[in-house]
Amino acid sequence: MCYFYDDGSHCKTVIDGEAVNAHWGVTKAGKPRKRLAIACVTCREKKIKCDPDYPRCVQCEKFGRICKFKNAPRGGHNTSPSTSPIELDDGRQHNGSLDAGDLRRSVSDASSPRSPRAGMHVDSPDRGYGKRLKIGTEAYIANGESPASFNAVMDYSNPRIAEQQPFPEPTRISDEVLSRAWRTDPFASNPHLITSALTRFFANVDSTMILQFLPEEIFKYWVITSVDRKSPEDLMLLYSMLAVGSALCGDPKHIAYEEADELVASAAASAACLQLSLELNHSRESSMTAFPLGLTRITYAESRKRTFWSLFMLERLSGLFPERPVMLNAEDIYVQLPADIHSFEKGIEAQSRSFDPYELIRTAEQHSDTAVAGYHIEMVHIWSDCQATIYRMALRRTPLEAETIKLQALVEKAEKWNSSLPSRMTFGGTNLEAAAYTRSIGTFLSMHLLYHHTMIELNRHRHGANQLPKDVQMEHSAKCRDHASSVIDMLNCLERILRVRPTLLSIPPPAMAIVVTEAVDVLTAGGPMTVLGELIDRVRIAKSAVDKMTGVWGSSSKDRQAIDRRLQKLNRIREQGSRSPSPIQGYRLLPLSEEARDKENSHWQIFDPIEDTFPKDMDMIYIALD
């Protein structure tokens, strides 16, 4: 048995009955090497002492140098000056562009000034010094991992060589190391990459579930000019923004969702303690004269509002609602809606109206200067009120008359919101492009998608749906289909624009997945066979839109799978034609009339909805088909 290396050299795994360390090789005399010179190349060239550490030695970390390690010489083969397969993870030269791998490594490097393994017990001299070894393209192994697992990857005689062996779970990093990492300013390690990551964050934050809560230029200037002067709270904010920016770049995300959900609740409690639901002049901070992060009084007051409204939306759009009640009650909010983004960036005081949870804007002309974020927040409030009402209806029966009054009031509220939109905020290709140029395309899309979803839900779910008169059922069903069709039309419009200008929207808003899935559920529940081909094409448009979301929004994967299953069923219905399906296939074919029995004059009915959050006996779409 031999070890083979990328430079063409090889050596036996056992020499004279003594095992050879695969990382260190053999001496020129052909004996197993007992130790390895561990000084990095940079320190060797400068002839200075080298204290190895991960990811860079102490000296290279201190002076911001690139830290590389070379192969150890093996018997009969001198080490060439070229870069060897054993090198430091971050030893590669960074180019000028920002990619996901660069950002991930930069944040890791900046946050780990000392090795997480530095405080761990070394069980054997073979365990090395805590670096990672490169064993293939983008494949690394911890220096000191047992030779057995290493050989499983490197042994060419093994027929299962192509099968990557799973790496062991990393040891938990101690609190002391984490605390030290949190105190490290990442900007000092790689200014260019951190600036690029922040730019990516601000460019895409509009397509998330929050608002831009800090002015970009002011904040970036503060990051640059406050090196080594940031407080632990400042660094936590900066690291959080870098983490979000990294996720929006498409980095792999290993996220503890339960912990993230708990943090949302914790943030809502913190917002209450900080009195973010009050205007600055009415809060305990009204007498402040010095403001953090390089902000002025105007920008600080606006940042408070935007932070609060971000939490307001995050509680409602994060996927936990309505199963988990919200902590930020709309009736207890006394701050104005956000100002426009231009005024916020320039630090100009702008007039914005108050939030009224009971009565929304009355006419489009009266508030034509309202920022798109204000309309979006109002729509989120209406949408969440709709979701909570239907959820309560499903779990707690109320008199039919009271239920109808409540739902009708919500319908009128949503329609009033829609009619109050100024012409520049109604949905259309021109307004969509204009929103992109003002960095509000995500907000613009979200509020219109949520409006249609609200109208679908309010018309779709009613107690005793099967007991309502047939004409009432058909009326509600038709309204659901109209709004579902409008959702697909929105996707069509967006696709046409992105085909010409693909950079206008790099990340779809997260609300798109749930709304598109509901629209597909409604449109494909049943219909005449004559329109099936056209409908399949429209569903493909919907699936394409959701497919593009899964790279960033992991929760959209289940929506993509649901749409894919429904698309397969529609294709099966088309292939099956007029042949009678078995009940196990999940649909049936019925004639449109007693006289018409052929395929061209029949229609399909799918038994079960995609969305099963609420009982089927409340579902106007699928009850109306029975």
% residues pLDDT > 70 (the chain): 74
pLDDT band at 148 (very low <50, low <70, confident <90, very high): very low
Decide if pLDDT at 278 tops 60. yes
DSSP symbols for 150-173: HHHHH-TT-TTTTSPPPPPPPPPP
The answer to the question of residue 528 being in a domain is yes
Measure the CA–CA gap between 371 and 352, rounded to whole angstroms: 8
Q: What is the DSSP string of 430-468?
A: HHHHHHHHTT-HHHHHHHHHHHHHHHHHHHHB-TTGGGS
Q: Which of 27, 29, 131, 35 lies closest to 84, judged by CA?
A: 131
Please give the backbone phi and psi of residue 285, each rounded to the nearest 5 degrees, phi first.
-95, 10
Paired strand residues for 10: 4
Of all residues in the chain, what percent are helix, strand and coil, respectively (each to 5)? 50, 5, 40
For residue 342, is it within any domain?
Answer: no
Decide if 293 contacts 226 (C-beta within 8 A).
no
Alpha-carbon span 274 to 285, nearest angstrom = 9
pLDDT value of residue 86: 35
Check: CB of residue 604 under 8 Å from CB of residue 526. yes
**Residue 386 near residue 610, CB atoms below 8 Å:** no
Cα–Cα nearest to 553, from 308, 204, 316: 204
Select the more confidently predicted residue: 32 or 539. 539
- Convert the pLDDT of each residue in 430-480 to its tens digit: 999 999 888 899 999 999 999 999 999 999 998 888 888 888 899 999 999
Domain-located, residue 104: yes
Amino acid in the structure at residue 497: I
Identity of the residue numbered 197: A
| Cα of 100 vs its chain's centroid, Å | 14
72 belongs to a structural domain:
yes
Average pLDDT over residues 300-324: 93
Indicate the DSSP class of residue 134. Answer: E
Lowest mean pLDDT among 138-142, 211-215, 273-277: 138-142
What's the pLDDT band for 625 if we cut at 50, 70, 90?
low
Q: Which residues pair with 589 in a beta bridge?
A: 604
Q: What is the pLDDT at residue 442? A: 93
- Residue 577 is predicted with a pLDDT of 80
Mean pLDDT score of the chain: 78
DSSP 3-state assignment of 381? helix
Neighbouring C-beta atoms of residue 45, cutoff 10 Å:
9
Count structural domains, the chain. Answer: 2
Environment class of residue 435 by beta-carbon count within 10 Å: exposed (0-12), middle (13-18) or buried (19+)? Answer: buried
Q: Is 64 exposed, middle or buried (0-12, 13-18, 19+ CB in 10 A)?
A: exposed
The confidence band for 90, taking pLDDT boundaries of 50, 70 and 90, is: very low
**Tokens 């609300």 -> residue:** 511
Burial class (CB in 10 A: 0-12, 13-18, 19+), 437: exposed
- Whole domain around residue 153: which residue ranges? 1-183
Q: What is the pLDDT at residue 371?
A: 86
Identity at 564, one-letter amino acid code: D
More reliable by pLDDT, 184 or 262: 184
Q: Is 309 left (phi over 0), alpha (psi -120 to 50) or beta?
A: alpha
pLDDT tens for 246-256 read 877 766 666 65
Which candidate, 522, 518, 512, 520, places its Cα nearest to that of 481?
522
Contacts of 231 (CB under 8 A, 6+ apart): none
What residues contact 451, with CB distance under 8 A and at least 6 apart?
379, 383, 414, 417, 418
The reported pLDDT for the residue numbered 533 is 92
Lowest mean pLDDT among 241-250, 478-487, 505-514: 241-250
Measure the CA–CA gap between 302 and 215, rounded to whole angstroms.
9
- Order across the sheet with 587-591: list the strands: 526-528, 602-606, 587-591
Query: Is residue 329 included in any domain, yes or no?
Result: no
Measured distance CA(214)–CA(605) in Å, rounded: 51
Higher pLDDT pick, 318 / 520: 520
Q: Does 119 reside within a domain?
A: yes
The residue out of 127, 159, 183 marking a domain boundary is 183
pLDDT digits (tens, 9 = 90+) for 546-598: 998 988 888 889 999 999 999 999 999 998 887 777 778 888 888 766 555 55
Find the range with the poorest average confidence among 32-36, 477-481, 483-487: 32-36
Cβ partners under 8 Å of residue 312, min gap 6: 328, 330, 333, 377, 380
| 448 assigned to some structural domain | yes
Mapping DSSP onto H, E and C, the string for 186-223 reads HHHHCHHHHHHHHHHHHHHHHHCCCCCCCCHHHHHHHH
Domain boundary among 183, 210, 245: 183
Last residue of a domain, one of 148, 168, 183: 183
User: Which is nearest to 496 in space by CA: 540, 541, 449?
Assistant: 541
Mean pLDDT of 182-186: 84
Q: Measured between alpha carbons, how far is 589 from 601 in angstroms, rounded to an integer?
A: 10
pLDDT in tens, 337-382: 999 999 999 999 888 888 988 876 554 444 545 789 999 999 999 9
* Contact predicate 339/440, CB 8 Å: no
Q: Which residue has the higher pLDDT, 33 or 405?
A: 405
The three-point CA angle 240-241-242 to 5° equals: 90
Could you tell me if residue 285 is inside a domain? no
Give the Cα separation of 203 and 214 in Å (integer).
12
- pLDDT-based confidence at residue 127 (cuts at 50, 70, 90): very low
With both helix axes pointing from N to C terminus, report the angle between 232-248 and 175-182 in degrees, rounded to the nearest 10.
90
Residue 116 has pLDDT above 70, yes or no: no
